[in-house]
Structure 1
């Protein structure tokens, strides 16, 4: 009798204000991984609204005791999430025994606030990347960044690239290529403006202006979180 194939348990912890493509992109890739078990969870198993979509039937994050891969998505609610003690305790607990600790977009800021990225290279959305330094992480411009068992994807759509790269590590390049083919993932965007160094200056400046107030508030909140963590560490 042959033994059952090992299961790779992947957990996506969601929170209010998450960007749905941050986890739906990698979730779609990981869903095709042989022997995978996917958990999408929130505090108390509560429904999560994400930019007009509501995700229901979620698992209670507190009841998940272990996972092989922890994948933390980003979103405008990431700062509020890192100020929730229960949520952050679950992140640290699951990361402590996970084979791979991962994130997409500003999810790396949550990992950093949990004390998991000190001295580690990490990707993040380009507009938020500099805030990683508040937690002694090393900002990296890469679309997919690997440092030890830490895997981070850049902004939003990079989650698909990151997931394929991690599948290749877990199950081999052939499996990753087959999943990419099945999903017909062959990016050919209509505009070459996906990074600030490529987009027209007027577009970049307009987006920066649109984000200015949000970033100012988030920077202040992140410094507050970082200072609180530093104070706790010194006690």
Structure 2
């Protein structure tokens, strides 16, 4: 399994580093069955995140036709009030503004190509789900994001789910920032096997939380 983690200006570092470390450890535990790299829509470049001046280097351009996983993180910035109008000229951009800026890049078209490819799974962490959602790519799909963005997900036509990790086939999403660890472990379990995922859990002294939500099975009765 090869995983391309997408960097964009203003990305949340924890959304990137959490899954990266889990997946890299999974590669070591599996004898190389998992590989992971940092990419961007523009190609190799230094990308500045939204937490201070922390930057990471994308070593390649996102290839939407490469079999495996494309993982989109969320953004880090000012949260702002729920009813606040986004101000693109603010000194400290809000998270919605940072995510919205990705729509003016080549990223949405690349994500559409990835979703259209039968051998590619799209994964998102936190607000990363809002990037393809706002681009109109997740209509009718089951997906989660940070709880502050669930209403926006619904507004795009996606089915927002209040769960830590949601598996909708070729679309896997994690909720808030630390769920990137859970998502990484679930990817290892699903694609490589539970023994590898468990070995990484033990290495990091971290256990996944909650039940992975799938769109199958009977509907629960009201409590």
1:89 and 2:97 correspond: no
1:16 and 2:15 correspond: no
Matched ranges for 1:60-209 at <5 A: 60-61=60-61, 65-75=65-75, 76=95, 77-84=98-105, 86-97=106-117, 98-186=119-207
TM-score (ref. length: structure 2): 0.74
Task: After TM superposition, give the deviation of residue 13 of structure 1 in Å.
Answer: 1.0
Task: After TM superposition, give the deviation of residue 101 of structure 1 in Å.
Answer: 1.2
One of 18, 26, 34 as aligned partner of 1:25: 18
Deviations 1:65-115 (A, max 9, x none): 41311111011222111232x121222223322432110001111121343
Root-mean-square deviation over aligned CA pairs: 2.0
Stretches of structure 2 that go unaligned for 5 or more consecutive residues are 76-94, 210-223
Task: After TM superposition, give the deviation of residue 15 of structure 1 in Å.
Answer: 0.4
Aligned residues: 179
Matches of 2:198 and 2:205, distance apart in 1: 10
Task: After TM superposition, give the deviation of residue 64 of structure 1 in Å.
Answer: 6.4
- After the TM superposition, which segments of 4 or more aligned residues of structure 1 sit over 3 Å from their partners? 62-65
Task: After TM superposition, give the deviation of residue 44 of structure 1 in Å.
Answer: 3.0
Change (3 A) 1:62 1:183: closer
More displaced, 162-171 or 111-120? 111-120
Matches of 1:102 and 1:87, distance apart in 2: 14
Matches of 2:169 and 2:65, distance apart in 1: 23
Change (3 A) 1:163 1:130: same
Is the 1:14–1:40 contact (alpha carbons within 8 Å) kept by the matching residues of 2?
yes
Is the 1:105–1:153 contact (alpha carbons within 8 Å) kept by the matching residues of 2?
yes
1:55 and 2:77 correspond: no
One of 28, 35, 38 as aligned partner of 1:37: 35
Larger Rg: 1
Task: After TM superposition, give the deviation of residue 124 of structure 1 in Å.
Answer: 0.4
- Which structure has more relative contact order (CA 8 Å, sep 6+)? It is 2
TM-score (ref. length: structure 1): 0.70
